[in-house]
Amino acid sequence: MSDKSSPKRSTILLTNDDGYRAPGIRALAAALVDSFNVIIVAPEEEQSGVSHSFTYRREIRCREILSDGLCKTMVVSGTPVDCVKFALSAVFSTLPVLVVSGMNVGENTGISGFYSGTVGAAREGAFWGIPSVAFSLSTEGSAHLDHWCATASDFLTTWEQSNLTPFKEKGKAVFLNVNFPRVNPAKARGAKVTRQSMAYFSDRYVPVGSIAGETLYELKGEKRDIEESDDFDSCAINNGWITITPLHFDATADAVIEMTEEMKSTLCAGKECMG
């Protein structure tokens, strides 16, 4: 444990989906230890794209390692959500004030937020009623990793001192998805609160070889924007903004509730539908 740790500092859980060895989580930890007690609970291996998956009906392994002196580090043989679940139920005697996921190298705007293990970890933290945030950086901006990690640390320090009540309502809470642009920080246009866009990837599977008569495929694709406004995260990050997107759990499609009411009789098998 770093000698920078102090009981007077607020404690945060730090995780990611790139694995505990990834430069992003190490850089973010280095930026955070000056302001927080940081405990890392992170996947043993790279877990990109696992979304909110977790391990069920089989064991996970956990070990504490000798880290580089930054902070206590525990390695879990599971997904980012496994890491959060395990940390909050088995590692912390008192829940942390924040759950932080990142720094992911590779943006998580648009529907990537649904696939992302980085965002999934923050969502799990919010399930527990803990203010949670996912940090991601455009791949082309990785040369500025340390700068953006320092910016993330400043953001968390300010956020912790603000009104966190909306982020603590268990089962109703919101969480934040923050993405940093590819541009030189000096050329960033600032920070912008955005809506989640519907930007997607044009998925295709490309044959790359064969083994024992089975063809091997890799997933390829390019990002496709739908919206053309900086009010949406994907367009905004493309245009040099830091994006802050508040997300929540309720995925109910209110726009079609009335139409669905008209359809429900088909499920009643001739009986009177109640409600």
pLDDT > 70: percent of the chain: 93
Evaluate whether residue 124 is within a structural domain.
Answer: yes
pLDDT in tens, 66-79: 766 779 999 999 99
Q: Which residue has the higher pLDDT, 164 or 11?
A: 11
Evaluate whether residue 3 is within a structural domain.
Answer: no
Evaluate whether residue 4 is within a structural domain.
Answer: no
For residues 202 and 221, what is the distance between their CA atoms, to the nearest angstrom? 5
Average per-residue pLDDT for the chain: 91
Evaluate whether residue 273 is within a structural domain.
Answer: no
Residue 32 domain boundaries: 11-267
Evaluate whether residue 272 is within a structural domain.
Answer: no
Instruction: Report how far apart the first and last C-alpha atoms of the chain are (Å, whole number).
Output: 57
Stretch 105-114: mean pLDDT, rounded? 95
- For the chain, what is the domain count? 1
Q: Where are the beta strands (DSSP E) in 106-250?
A: 132-137, 174-180, 190-193, 200-201, 204-211, 214-220, 223-224, 241-248
pLDDT in tens, 169-183: 766 778 999 999 999
Asked if the model's pLDDT at residue 115 lies above 60, the reply is yes
Evaluate whether residue 26 is within a structural domain.
Answer: yes
pTM of the model: 0.92
141's tokens? 């901006």
Evaluate whether residue 275 is within a structural domain.
Answer: no
What pLDDT sits at residue 37? 95
Specify the range with the lowest mean pLDDT, choosing from 73-77, 232-236, 270-274: 270-274
Evaluate whether residue 2 is within a structural domain.
Answer: no
**CATH code where residue 82 lies:** 3.40.1210.10
What pLDDT sits at residue 212? 96
Q: How many CA atoms lie within 13 A of 122 on its CB side?
A: 28
3-state secondary structure of 244: strand
Q: Where are the beta strands (DSSP E) in the chain?
A: 11-15, 37-43, 62-65, 72-76, 98-105, 132-137, 174-180, 190-193, 200-201, 204-211, 214-220, 223-224, 241-248
